Amino acid sequence: MTGWRATLRRPDGKVGAALAAGLVLAALLAPVLTGYDPVAQLDLDASRLLPPSWAHPFGTDDLSRDILARTLYGGRISLAIAVLAVTVAILVGTTVGMIAGLAGGLLDTIVMRLVDAALAIPRLLLLLVVVGLWGSVGIPVLVLMLGGTSWFETSRLVRAEVLSLRQRDFIVAARAMGVGLPALLRRHVLPNVMGPVIVAATLGVGQIVLVEAGLSFLGVGVRRPIPSWGIMIAESRDLMVTAPWTAAFPGLAIVVTVLAFSLLGDALRAALDPKTGS
């Protein structure tokens, strides 16, 4: 696709794509990159809170677990949750946006006012309330909740695109040629909506990693002993001064992830936008 090539020609696109690919690879190859188990306690006497060394490049935590292993396996959890949640958000957001944009009228007004209302509530607060009502949640429910609270912007985006597409000459021309509604949506509306949606999805991955870390930090996200970056930071709360590596590496992982997907998203946006694209 031309969009990808244009993205990779941009410096921010190169860096973003390289970082994102590195993160995904590191998470996938976790068993190859480290021999340690992310949840096994090595030796509570000899291996507690070791600073970074050749044996433990990221050090160990207060339960004598290898932080490199926990960061790598935590990346699996955090990235998987983020990608799945973004997929849910994109599917819901695109569907709602297309229906609202095409139907117009009262349905459009009602749906979009509800979306406005939902957007006015801070997402973390919304999630805390939902989780509080639900009780403790597993990862599938967490994914659904994160996705279920992340589609509002996407639906607005898609609706706006569909509204402007509806008036575009090539949609009228396709209708004038007898193209039916299913083909019109699939071949003419959807591909023209996909650009902004891909950008939103890419930016969304970084955002959801951050939200998930926040939830886990607050103790309502992923549950111990499953490693997630948010949980690792939460566990090192009392150790940040005496053993800063316990928080630094998962923190760095979050920063790099958000940075990678923001760079990639911005580069995609610039590359896909015909007005600024190279």
Q: Considering only residues 5, 175, 224, 237, which one is a binding residue for other proteins as defined by CB under 8 A?
A: 175
User: Residues binding other proteins: what is the number (CB under 8 A)?
Assistant: 19
Region of 18-26, 60-68, 153-161, 170-178 interacting with other proteins (CB under 8 A): 170-178
Per CB under 8 A, which region of 60-68, 150-158, 175-183, 244-252 contacts other proteins?
175-183
Instruction: Please tell me whether residue 239 binds other proteins under the rule CB under 8 A.
Output: no
Instruction: Report the distance separating Cα 39 and Cα 36, nearest Å.
Output: 9
Interacting span for other proteins (CB under 8 A) from 81-89, 126-134, 168-176, 196-204: 168-176
Q: Which of 179, 185, 218, 239 binds other proteins (CB under 8 A)?
A: 179
Residue 6 binds other proteins, judged by CB under 8 A: no
Residue 276, SS3? coil
d(CA 215, CA 247): 16
How many angstroms separate the CA atoms of 126 and 128, rounded?
A: 6
Q: Which residues contact 93 (CB under 8 A, 6 or more apart)?
A: 150, 151, 152, 153, 154, 155, 157, 158, 197, 200
**73 burial type by CB count under 10 A (0-12 exposed, 13-18 middle, 19+ buried):** buried
CB of 180 to other proteins, least distance (A): 6
User: Candidates 15-23, 182-190, 212-220, 254-262 — which segment interacts with other proteins by CB under 8 A?
Assistant: 182-190
Least Å distance, CB 174 to other proteins, is 7
Q: Per the structure block, which two tokens stand in for 179?
A: 């193209």
* Angstrom distance (rounded) from CA 111 to CA 243: 50
| Nearer CB in complex with other proteins: 75/196 | 196
Q: Is 142 in contact with 81 (CB distance < 8 Å)?
A: yes
Instruction: Write each residue from 185 to 224 as x if it is in contact with other proteins (CB under 8 A), else as -, in one continuous string.
Output: --xx--xx--------------------------------
Among 55, 110, 117, 183, binds other proteins (CB under 8 A): 183
Q: Does the protein bind other proteins through residue 169 (CB under 8 A)?
A: yes
Q: Is the Cβ of residue 100 or residue 258 nearer to other proteins in the bound state?
A: 100
SS3 for 145-188, per residue? Answer: HHHHCCCHHHHHHHHHHHHHHHCCHHHHHHHHCCCCHHHHHHHH
Among candidate residues 144, 218, 156, the one with its CA nearest the CA of residue 193:
156
CA distance 182 to 208: 32
DSSP state of 189: I
Q: Site map for other proteins, 96-115, x if CB under 8 A?
A: --------x-----------
Q: How far is the CB of 158 from other proteins (least distance, A)?
A: 15
Indicate the residue among 132 and 274 with the shorter CB distance to other proteins.
274
**Residue 223 in 3-state DSSP?**
coil
> Shortest distance, CB of residue 7 to other proteins, whole angstroms?
16
**Which residues of the shown chain bind other proteins in the complex (CB under 8 A)?**
104, 168-170, 172-180, 183, 187-188, 191-192, 274
